C-alpha cells in the first residue's frame, strides 16, 4: 500500500482564515469570561495559532475524545482528559476542534460539557467535512468546508503521522 498526499489547503490560506476566526471570537466575547476547551490531539496546532490571535483574556482546558475500532471513524465516545471535572460553570465555552466529520464526537462532547453548566457553549472547528447523514451540529465558528475525504496535516494525523505538515493535504491510499 502506498500513500500519496495531495495539497488541499495551503498554510497561507489557513493563516488568513485562523486570523479571521480569532477576530470574530474576540468581537463576540468582549467582557465575558471565556474558556477554550481544546480537543486533543489534532486540534492543538490550530488552537496554538488561534489563541495567540485572540485579543481578550481566556483560559484553556483540554479534553480527549477517544474512539474505538477503525482509526478513520469515530464511535462518538468521549472521555474527559482528567478525572476532575472541568471548571466551566458560568463560563462562555468554545470547543476548539480540528475537524467535524460525522459529528458523533462533537455531539457527545457537547452533551458532556452541557452538564457542567456553562453560560454558553459554542463550537470552533477548522474543518467541516461534507458528509451525508452527519449529525446536525450548530457550528458558530468554522474555518473551511471540505469534501468527504481523509485529510492530514496542521495537527491532523493518519496513524499519528503527518501532523507536522504546515498545510492540509488529502491522504490517498493506493493498494
Ligand atoms: P467524527 O466523530 O466522525 O465527527 O470525527 C471527528 C474526529 O475524527 C476528529 O476529531 C478527528 O480526530 C477525526 N477525524 C475525522 N476525519 C478526519 C480526517 O479526515 N483526518 C484526520 N482526522 C479525522
Ligand atoms: Mg480530533
Three-state SS across 116-157?
CCCCEEEEEEEEEECCCCCCCCCCCEEEEEECCCCEEECCEC
Mean pLDDT per block of 10 residues along the chain (175 residues) reads 94 98 94 91 97 96 68 56 73 96 90 92 97 88 96 96 97 87
* Contact residues of ligand 1, CB 6 A cut-off: 39, 42, 65, 74, 76, 97-106, 150-152, 156
- CB neighbours (10 Å) of residue 94? 25
CA distance 7 to 55: 31
* Confidence at residue 87, expressed as pLDDT on a 0 to 100 scale: 86
| pTM (whole model) above 0.85 | yes
Nearest CA to ligand 1 atom 10: 99
Catalytic residue status for 87 = no
pLDDT of residue 167: 98
Q: What's residue 66's pLDDT?
A: 66
Q: Which residues of 123-145 are buried (b: 16+ CB within 10 A; e: fewer)?
A: bbbbbbbeeeebeebebbbebee
Amino acid at each position: 500500500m502506498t500513500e500519496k498526499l495531495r495539497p488541499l489547503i495551503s498554510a497561507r490560506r489557513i493563516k488568513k482564515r485562523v486570523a479571521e476566526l480569532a477576530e470574530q471570537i474576540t468581537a463576540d466575547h468582549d467582557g465575558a469570561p471565556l474558556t477554550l476547551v481544546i480537543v486533543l490531539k489534532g486540534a492543538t496546532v490550530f488552537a496554538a495559532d488561534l489563541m495567540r490571535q485572540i485579543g481578550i483574556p481566556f483560559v484553556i482546558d483540554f479534553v480527549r475524545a477517544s474512539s474505538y475500532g477503525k482509526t478513520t471513524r469515530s464511535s462518538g465516545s468521549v472521555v474527559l482528559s482528567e478525572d476532575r471535572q472541568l471548571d466551566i460553570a458560568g463560563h462562555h465555552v468554545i470547543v476548539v476542534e480540528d475537524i467535524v466529520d460525522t459529528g458523533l464526537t462533537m455531539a457527545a462532547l457537547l452533551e458532556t460539557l452541557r452538564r457542567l453548566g456553562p453560560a454558553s457553549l459554542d463550537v470552533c472547528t477548522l474543518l467541516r467535512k461534507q458528509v451525508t447523514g452527519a449529525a446536525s451540529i450548530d457550528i458558530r465558528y468554522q474555518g473551511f468546508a471540505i469534501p468527504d475525504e481523509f485529510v492530514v496535516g496542521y495537527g491532523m494525523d493518519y496513524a499519528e503521522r503527518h501532523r507536522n505538515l504546515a498545510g492540509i493535504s488529502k491522504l490517498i491510499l493506493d493498494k
